[in-house]
């Protein structure tokens, strides 16, 4: 049966807020517990999503000796012709999509993305969208999750242009509002040149302490009363700091540990309801 997949960017202009961990945590849970088909696209030159999933599927060597060397990576989407007479061409699906199991696929990231960020061709930022559309990927996957870098770059533009929704992981600290404001500016600026169809799904608190102190509460209240947070919305589900996500033998996969599984289960349920509500 044809699917009606949704493209979702995990994005914040602030680093280290849990974008990658939530992207993988939600995607893996949807795939392995709720039987959804999920395609990850790793648009971050740090390629943490790729490393983590290669680790989960014991494909780290394969990544180094095969996918990376043969450039079976997202970088293929950004290739430009090297002669004037050559037409720009998108890769075939098989050239870039790696099926990890029946429900999880990935377009792997690569550190080499750093070399393309200065690609100034205006079409470059539309390549991800074009690739998804030309290959009718929404018919094959329930969700296409894009892990974004925390920077203003060709890749964040590409992700936003390609997405139906964006989700903003936020770690509560005194600078948390800045990354959200900056993200909003990036989206507004992009709207000037591009047709964007992207809608906010909401902000998700990440790495909260189990006991939320008065000081933390105060920052949360300030955040929640800001115009920008009201515009984007806020998930009811909060996610907590679980040390194993950093150091555990199960890697940074939320479903692997009891306490993060509870968070991710609740979050997936709210996430799917939010998407449904917007359709």
Ligand X SMILES: Nc1ncnc2c1ncn2[C@@H]1O[C@H](COP(=O)(O)OP(=O)(O)OP(=O)(O)O)[C@@H](O)[C@H]1O
Q: Which does 250 bind (CB under 5 to 8 A by kind): ligand X, Mg ion, none?
A: none
Stretch that binds ligand X, among 43-51, 62-70, 126-134, 265-273 (CB under 6 A): 43-51
Q: Which does 21 bind (CB under 5 to 8 A by kind): Mg ion, ligand X, none?
A: ligand X
Q: Which residues pair with 42 in a beta bridge?
A: 147
Q: Site map for ligand X, 175-214, x if CB under 6 A? A: -------------------------------xx-------
Stretch that binds ligand X, among 19-27, 126-134, 230-238, 269-277 (CB under 6 A): 19-27
* Structure tokens belonging to residue 40: 């990850």
Radius of gyration of the chain (CA): 18
Give the chain's length.
Answer: 279
Closest CA to 73 of 25, 107, 102: 107
Stretch that binds ligand X, among 78-86, 105-113, 194-202, 237-245 (CB under 6 A): 237-245
Among 15, 81, 88, 233, contact with ligand X (rule: CB under 6 A): 15
In this structure, the dihedral spanned by the alpha carbons of residues 168, 172, 178 and 183, taken in order and rounded to 10 degrees, is 0
Closest separation in Å from C-beta 38 to ligand X: 17
Instruction: Count helices and strands (H / E) in the chain.
Output: 11, 7
Residue with Cβ nearer ligand X (9 or 21): 21
Q: What share of the chain is helix, strand, coil (3-state, %, to 5)?
A: 45, 15, 40
Among 20, 52, 103, 153, contact with Mg ion (rule: CB under 5 A): 20
Other Cβ atoms within 10 Å of 12 Cβ, number: 26
Interface residue list for ligand X (CB under 6 A): 15-21, 44, 46, 48, 150, 206-207, 239, 241-243, 245-246, 252
């Amino acid at each position: 049966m044809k699917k009606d997949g949704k493209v979702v960017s995990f994005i914040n202009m602030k680093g280290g807020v849990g974008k990658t961990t939530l992207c993988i945590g939600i995607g893996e849970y949807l795939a392995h517990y709720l039987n959804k088909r999920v395609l990850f696209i790793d648009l971050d030159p740090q390629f943490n999503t790729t490393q983590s999933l290669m680790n989960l599927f014991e494909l780290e060597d394969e990544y180094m000796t095969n996918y990376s060397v043969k450039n079976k990576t997202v970088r293929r989407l950004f290739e430009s012709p090297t002669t004037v007479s050559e037409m720009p061409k998108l890769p075939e699906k098989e050239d870039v999509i790696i099926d990890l199991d029946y429900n999880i696929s990935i377009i792997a990231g690569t550190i080499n993305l750093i070399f393309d960020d200065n690609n100034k061709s205006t079409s470059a930022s539309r390549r991800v969208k074009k690739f998804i559309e030309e290959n009718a990927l929404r018919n094959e996957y329930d969700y296409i999750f894009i892990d974004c870098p925390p920077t203003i770059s060709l890749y964040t533009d590409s992700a936003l242009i390609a997405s139906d929704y964006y989700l903003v992981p936020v770690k509560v600290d005194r600078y948390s509002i800045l990354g959200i404001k900056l993200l909003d500016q990036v989206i507004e600026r992009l709207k000037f040149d591009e047709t964007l169809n992207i809608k906010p799904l909401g902000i998700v608190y990440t790495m909260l302490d189990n006991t939320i102190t008065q000081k933390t509460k105060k920052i949360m209240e300030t955040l929640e009363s800001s115009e920008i947070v009201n515009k984007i919305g806020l998930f009811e589900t909060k996610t907590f700091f679980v040390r194993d996500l950093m150091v555990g033998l199960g890697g940074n996969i939320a479903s692997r540990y009891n306490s993060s599984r509870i968070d991710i289960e609740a979050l997936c349920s709210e996430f799917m309801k939010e998407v449904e509500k917007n359709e």
